[in-house]
Chains A and B, each alone.
Chain A
Amino acid sequence: MSTQATATTTAKTSSLATSAKFRTFAITFAIAGTVIYLLCLQFNWPLFTYHPAVNRVELWWGPSRSGEGPAMYWYGWTATSLIAGFVVSLLATLLPESTAKKIPLILVWLLPILAIPYLIWDLRQWWFHP
């Protein structure tokens, strides 16, 4: 390709890319999804628990049981944040455009950055394990 072309070219814009409602949805999903994921982690809110050794799925949080191997919560946390984030973002699209435009864009990137020190703190049991 020609190196004289500018590095950032404008792609053809689809109808989704020009939709104000999708803008609201996408921005809200990034913000709400990040916050909800961190809340799921903090308060342990998996939508379901998976027990891989016995291939069993249990709704909400469930403990590891003797003879059934470990329990996995990450799928459940991710599912909670995707579904709840989706619902919150859909509701946000119902807001008037003037209100939706007030959702701060900075939160889209600031929250994921702030999530990093939180995650490091949340995982401290591994860093300082005796």
Chain B
Amino acid sequence: MDLISVNTFWTIWLLVHLVLSVGLIGALTHQAVACVMPVRQLAAPPGFVTRFRAVPAAGYATAICILWVLTFIAGSYIYTKYRIYIRIPIEQAQYWKTQGFFDFKEHVASIGLVLLPAYWYFWKNAQNPEYDTPRKVVTVYLAVACWFLFIVGHVLNNVRGFGS
């Protein structure tokens, strides 16, 4: 801790959380789109959207699980400082809805965490039609959840985060 200031230390962790979440949101979005709108055959040269969804979606599953867990751990670590240095000023400023959305975020992140083993299993058995519906719904659920978590985190950072 002598090499860097306390602020720099926590800023680095906030950025680690950000970088992991960017990787997660990208992978989950690719996978969800590929899952909901798979590319079957090409009648014309592929455009951006076609290329976006033409990914080997099953190959993302393990990486997504690892990224969710790592992002969760990094977020949990910086949460201790959030509770004192961010949440209290937010409450003092009476940003109640902002506070509510953060609580919503923490609950959604935990529910996403318990879905991961089933999500992974469904993708590793993607050839089994029995798992088609749960695999698609859980993947879209996690993708939407990830976007929600990301946007709420981003807005909170704007309210009182980096540099405040």
Contacts and interface: CB of A to CB of B under 8 A. Distances in A.
A81 interface: yes
B97 A8 contact: no
A37 B107 contact: yes
Contact of A105 (B81, B114, B134): B134
A93 B90 CA distance: 45
Given A1-B54, A26-B121, A8 B34 contact: yes
Nearest to A74: B106
B115 A123 contact: no
Given A8-B34, A29-B118, A52-B84, A77 B138 contact: no
Contacts of A18: 125
Most buried by B among A29, A37, A41, A112: A112
B151 to A, nearest CB: 15
Contact of A10 (B46, B58, B80): B58
Contact of B107 (A30, A119, A127): A119
A6 B40 contact: yes
Interface residues of B, number: 60
Interface in A89-130: 105-106, 108-109, 112-113, 115, 119-120, 123, 125-127, 129
A18 B131 CA distance: 13
A29 B117 contact: yes
B51 interface: yes
Contact of A3 (B51, B80, B108, B111): B51
B59 A11 contact: yes
Given A13-B125, A52-B84, A78-B110, A8 B58 contact: yes
A126 B99 contact: yes
B102 to A, nearest CB: 9
Most buried by A among B35, B124, B133: B124
22 contacts: A1-B56, A3-B39, A3-B42, A5-B39, A6-B40, A7-B34, A7-B35, A7-B55, A9-B59, A9-B126, A18-B125, A22-B121, A26-B120, A29-B117, A30-B118, A52-B84, A82-B113, A105-B131, A109-B134, A123-B104, A125-B100, A129-B96
Interface of A: 1, 3-11, 13-14, 16-18, 22-23, 25-27, 29-30, 33-34, 37, 41, 50, 52-53, 69-70, 72, 74-75, 77-78, 81-82, 85, 105-106, 108-109, 112-113, 115, 119-120, 123, 125-127, 129
Given A3-B54, A9-B126, A109-B133, 19 more contacts: A8-B35, A8-B38, A11-B58, A11-B124, A17-B120, A17-B121, A22-B121, A29-B114, A30-B114, A37-B114, A50-B80, A52-B81, A74-B106, A108-B134, A109-B134, A113-B141, A123-B100, A126-B96, A129-B97
